[in-house]
Structure 1
Amino acid sequence: MENEVGHEIADALGILLRRTTRTQLHRQLTEGMGEGVDEQTYPVLSALARTGPRSAADLAPEVGIDRSGVTRRASRLEAAGLIRREADPADRRAHLLVLTEEGRSVVAELRTRLAAHIMGSLSGWPPGEAAKFAHQLRRFTAEGPFA
């Protein structure tokens, strides 16, 4: 088969990128994290941690939902004290979503949980193979079609 490795990688990425796969993972990671933190709000918290303050409109493509969906999730996170809204200095009509100190703490815990989940999945791999995989995946995302 032509491009066999490419097809194999595409199939694996398809599984990882499925909405159901992400939702299930987010549900596991957010279990017991408290008010406002669940599989629906996880992408907003995670994206804000990666990108820094953003408007709901700018954050929408990053999380794959529309602006109104981001706004609804942001309202839940704001009520829980995990984000706040600040006036956008570039556009006084808009507001930026900003992680609070508590929000940054929650994101740190979620990242710790995610890393532990990943390491648990790799626990049966031979020594050194997980590190090699991490290096190659980083290279693929830095140099490949996602760069």
Structure 2
Amino acid sequence: MGPKLETCTELLRPLRAMLGLKQFAMQRGQFTADHVPYAAAGLLTELVLRGECRASDLAHHRIVDASVVSRQVGQLEQAGLITRRHDPADRRVVLLRATPDGERAVAELERRKAEWIRDALAHWDDAKVRELAGLLGEAMDDIRRYTIKDGGCVAGPVTKEGTR
């Protein structure tokens, strides 16, 4: 049966607040590095975590248009944070990989974010943070699966009755 609509509406408030706080912290420079383009930091992080892959795979996973990824790839390449190479198995395919500088930049950004969360949740115990991480991870996996269908096409709108 799933959760009630009202319960999911309650969930939206803290999710919006969390995203807003992240945006605020990024704008204040808490999650930036001097040589990482602000808008492309998330893409660089994704590339470091996923490893070498195609730009189209990054776009699909991040649920953004390929043109967004293309622009950010250009910024990251110009900053020396990623490289491109042709796939030896199919020369038409270009693979992206983070450079050592890109990997170091992401490690620094991730450290700053983890410190920020640690300081903000200083009164929480480790088990509670692990539980939250697990629940959010499960929720995001389910939401991603629900949102991305048929090779990357976003599912159609849901009506008031919850049907397509």
TM-score of the alignment, normalized to the shorter chain, above 0.5: yes
User: CA deviation digits over 1:20-51, x for unaligned, max 9?
Assistant: 554434343444x223x132011111111221
Shift of 1:6: 5.2
Deviates more, 1:96-105 or 1:3-12: 3-12
Give me the whole-angstrom Cα distance separating, in 1, the residues matched to 2:87 and 2:24: 34
Give me the whole-angstrom Cα distance separating, in 1, the residues matched to 2:106 and 2:88: 25
Larger radius of gyration: 2
Shift of 1:67: 1.1
AA partner of residue 133 (structure 2): R
- Report matched runs for 1:56-95 at 5 Å: 56-95=55-94
Work out the number of aligned pairs and report it. Answer: 138
Shift of 1:137: 1.8
TM-score, scaled to structure 2: 0.70
Deviates more, 1:87-96 or 1:7-16: 7-16
User: Any conservation in 2 of the 1:53–1:98 contact (CA below 8 Å)?
Assistant: yes
% identity of equivalent residues: 31
CA RMSD in angstroms comes to 2.5
Give me the whole-angstrom Cα distance separating, in 1, the residues matched to 2:5 and 2:64: 33
Quick one: which of 115, 118, 130 aligns to 1:135? 130
AA partner of residue 127 (structure 2): K
Aligned to 1:14: 16
Deviates more, 1:7-16 or 1:44-53: 7-16
AA partner of residue 15 (structure 1): A
User: Any conservation in 2 of the 1:23–1:39 contact (CA below 8 Å)?
Assistant: no
Give me the whole-angstrom Cα distance separating, in 2, the residues matched to 1:26 and 1:53: 26
Give me the whole-angstrom Cα distance separating, in 1, the residues matched to 2:118 and 2:24: 17
Structure 2 residues without counterparts, runs of 5 or longer: 143-164
Shift in CA distance, 24/91, structure 1 to aligned 2, threshold 3 Å: farther
Shift of 1:14: 3.3
Aligned to 2:34: 34
User: CA deviation digits over 1:90-146, x for unaligned, max 9?
Assistant: 4321211100011111111011111111112123x2xxx241332112321454462
TM-score, scaled to structure 1: 0.77
Aligned to 1:24: 24
